[in-house]
Amino acid sequence: MTRAKRQVLVRRREAPAPLAGSSNVRDTQSKPGPSTRRMRKSLLAWFDAHQRDLPWRRRRDPYAVWLSEVMLQQTQVATVVPYFERFLARFPDVQALADAELAEVLSLWRGLGYYSRARNLHRAAQLIAKRAFPSTAQGLRELPGLGRYTAAAVASFAFGEAVAVLDGNVSRVLARLRAIEGPLGLSEARLWAEAEALLDRSRPGAFNEAMMELGALVCVPGEPRCGKCPLEKDCAARASGLERAIPAPKPRPERKRLRMACGVAVTRGRVLLARREEKGLFGGLWELPSVAVEGASPRESLAAIGLRATGDEPLASVRRTLTHRELTLELYRCRTPRGALVGFIEQRFVARSELAQLGISTAMAKGLAQVESLLGG
């Protein structure tokens, strides 16, 4: 090879990567260099030897793969495993989920948080049941709740489509591998292009899982375990001594403090619950009718939605730390309302025995447990 050609290759390698899906990325995939082939081979060999035994890896059908990917969004693996197994036991296939009542779906989701995931899962199952399970990332993205990452994960894991994935773990691996400095969010287009260029198209599902597994077990935040990494020799951050500095930490937004007054109206041992539209905090879930306390007193705030508190002191309170909020629920005994409450689409009195079948948030469930003595059997 001439010196001029070598210089051209170096310049191309150092230039910003093209956007994923462009013709340049496809050309890179069709003619991978020796270092790319070595990285693919090393990573897949490592994954074959060290991958964790996870329940969704024992079932590769599209439904199980999709369910696991939705549950794993913003949620740790150890938390998801028992939910995944319970959910599949109750809804073993798409049709069973599509036929279920949303309340039961939300009930099984209780504790996982981000309940919009469960609502979208249910809506998407109903769409799939009417036609067929999309087998491409493009088709999957037409379903509610499936973004670029989730669609690519399902398409590659379940159908073998050669599309790359990019989640937090993969982003961190690629940022270190290519020494991409700064917050990950500012380099998203570059990282997608790197993921597409590195993808092993002969085993796309396994390769994507291998990248994710590497980020989860070895290329971890803060103190990566570089001595155990199959890509250590190819890692630019490691070669430069920047593996601890890359990626730059993401600034944590300050959590908003939210105080809510909850009305506890009990008649003959049955407690009044209400349900909002499917958006916002507690959207689509059953709750003790509640209202944000902002400026007005709790009694005045409850009166604004149609509830009359019998006192100024709460029966109990619950504190929960959510992703973006510090939440405080204050429970006030209230008289039985005479009409429909403001801001809710449904309300009814519920016996204690019915609570387990309803979709209720963890925070509200803790609140109900605090006033359990007011309820009948």
Domains of the chain: residue spans and CATH: 49-239 (1.10.340.30), 256-374 (3.90.79.10)
Six token digits for residue 55: 């329940």
What are the structure tokens assigned to 17, written together?
A: 């990567």
The pTM of the full predicted model, rounded to 2 decimals, is: 0.80
Checking 22-29 for CB contacts under 8 A at 24+ apart, the result is 22/193, 25/193, 25/196, 25/197, 28/197, 29/162, 29/196, 29/197, 29/199, 29/201
Cα angle at 345 between 340 and 346, to 5 degrees?
A: 70
Q: Residue 23 — very low, low, confident or very high, per pLDDT cuts 50/70/90?
A: very low
- SS3 category, 280: coil
Answer yes or no: 69 catalytic. Answer: yes
Other Cβ atoms less than 10 A from the Cβ of 139: the count is 16
Query: Are the CB atoms for 293 and 347 separated by under 8 Å?
Result: no
* Chain segment 199-224, per-residue pLDDT in tens: 999 999 999 999 999 999 999 999 99
Exactly one of 14, 69, 104, 243 is catalytic; name it: 69
- What is the pLDDT, as a whole number, of residue 257? 92
pLDDT in tens, 293-310: 998 999 999 999 999 999
CA distances from 53 to 47, 57, 58, 59 (A): 11, 7, 8, 11
In this structure, the number of other CB atoms found within 10 A of the CB of residue 353 comes to 10
